[in-house]
A = this chain, B = another copy of it.
Amino acid sequence: MSFFLKLISVSEAKAKIREIAGETYPQKVTLSEAYDRVLASDVLSDADVPGFSRSIVDGYAVVSKDTTGAGESIPTMLEYLGRVEMGTPAQIKLTPGTCAYVPTGGNVPDGADAVAMVEYSEALGDEVLIFRPMSNGENIVFADEDFAKGSPVMKKGTTLKPQECGVLASLGKEEVEVFKKPVIGIISTGNELVPVSKEPGFGKVRDVNTYLCSGFVKRCGCIPKIYGVIPDERDELREAIRLATEECDAVLISGGSSKDERDNTSSIIKELGEVLIHGIAISPGKPTIIGTATGKPVIGLPGHPASAYIVLYVLVSELLYKMQMKAVTNNTITTTLLENIPSAQGREDYVRVKLSDDGAKPLYAKSGLLNTLIKSDGMVKIPSGSEGLEAGSLVEVILW
């Protein structure tokens, strides 16, 4: 007796999710909002950067040939022509036998081809001693050396880390074209649920999945839009799903996990669009629904929070990252499994584990319990072709 005629493999489910993830739209943001966003178009340099020959040290601009053979005991003596001020073009022009002081970042005067650090020089009134031979180009960044005008700097799809934001600043990109952050609608349904603000009467429990899902949506860089607890009545639930799929880029619906409720969710999705997958060879998470409604991706999650969480990690993450043109990334750690984990072949099992210095210990618990969710450090995957994992073997733990 199974509710599901045919279980779909996790990899097929992931492929279907990527297929329905839909278009991603660009938007412009200011550079100060650009951190951690994803570039929607290539970035070229509009000009040479830094745009002028710049010293990277405090020191004396010189003609490098003048310093050939210079050393601690036989310094080169050069005529001192003056000082270049920061932020202004050098007014000085060097000829062989002369030098000028340049601060770090200052313009290297015409005629100079190296800057000797102050540490290797000594000022003597109108003259300067240089104690080291300099090579052509030493301690200078040339006008187009960082980014030449018209050259490609960053590719579409780049996630903007702090250093990319810094480089965009150097290129004068006050605004940046990034992909819009997907807005993900979150619906919890079930007649046993009350919102967090309410005292649950006997027989009811507070809605956990709204906060589980909204935290996860934020973790993946998207914006959650909470629709709250919707009674598991056909009209109310249909109206909520219709509204959420109109207002959002994708919708997560977690139901109470009884058979009747699942059927309600699935038949409403059918009415508003299409149920593509119902029943996946994953444990926990078998009753997961993948479909579209009002043209938007919809994922129906199990009602048990601990099961819903595995489905968020394994399947929903595919949707949320694809919608931002990012690859799914997880933090993992490889460690020793401390107990055998048996598994049924033909499904992918995910078992929560607790880490210690010795390794990873599986945490088994009744599926309705929340406490193992916060006691565990991550999960271990048992592939569908495996009968389980043996104590002592090395396993990859996907960290929460």
Contact = CB atoms under 8 A, between A and B. Distances in A.
A369 B218 contact: no
Interface in A334-387: 366-371, 373-374
A215 to B, nearest CB: 3
Contacts of A54: 205, 368
Given A216-B162, A304-B56, A86 B400 contact: no
Interface string A229-273: 000100000000000000000000000111111000000000000
Given A1-B119, A258-B58, A212 B162 contact: yes
A221 to B, nearest CB: 12
Nearest to A90: B203
Interface stretch (A8-16, A69-77, A103-111): A103-111
B215 A256 contact: no
Interface SS of A by simple majority: loop
Contact of A107 (B202, B207, B371): B202
Given A86-B191, A215-B35, A371 B147 contact: yes
B259 A58 contact: yes
Contact of A256 (B52, B103, B164, B170): B103
A373 B170 CA distance: 12
A309 interface: yes
Q: Which of A52, A226, A258 has the most CB of B within 10 A?
A: A258
A107 B202 CA distance: 8
Interface residues of A, number: 97
Contact of A192 (B31, B86, B259): B86
B258 A371 contact: no
Interface in A44-102: 49-52, 54, 56, 58, 85-90
Contacts of A389: none
Interface stretch (A193-201, A289-297, A390-398): A193-201
Given A50-B205, A172-B199, A216-B162, A167 B368 contact: no
A74 to B, nearest CB: 19
B162 A370 contact: no
A144 to B, nearest CB: 11
B202 A165 contact: no
Q: Which of A32, A105, A164, A213 has the most CB of B within 10 A?
A: A105
A145 to B, nearest CB: 7
A169 to B, nearest CB: 4
Interface in A181-228: 190-193, 196-197, 199-200, 202-216, 218-219, 224, 226
Interface in A290-312: 303-305, 309, 312
A128 B214 CA distance: 41
Contacts of A85: 191
A257 B105 contact: yes
A224 B373 CA distance: 33
Given A172-B206, A210-B169, A258 B52 contact: no
Given A2-B119, A145-B369, A170-B206, 18 more contacts: A1-B118, A1-B119, A36-B219, A50-B205, A52-B203, A90-B203, A103-B258, A103-B259, A105-B192, A141-B368, A146-B369, A153-B374, A163-B309, A163-B373, A165-B215, A167-B370, A169-B196, A169-B207
26 contacts: A32-B226, A35-B215, A56-B366, A58-B258, A86-B190, A86-B191, A86-B192, A86-B261, A89-B202, A89-B203, A146-B368, A154-B374, A161-B400, A162-B214, A162-B215, A162-B312, A163-B373, A163-B400, A166-B209, A167-B208, A168-B211, A169-B196, A169-B210, A169-B212, A170-B205, A173-B196
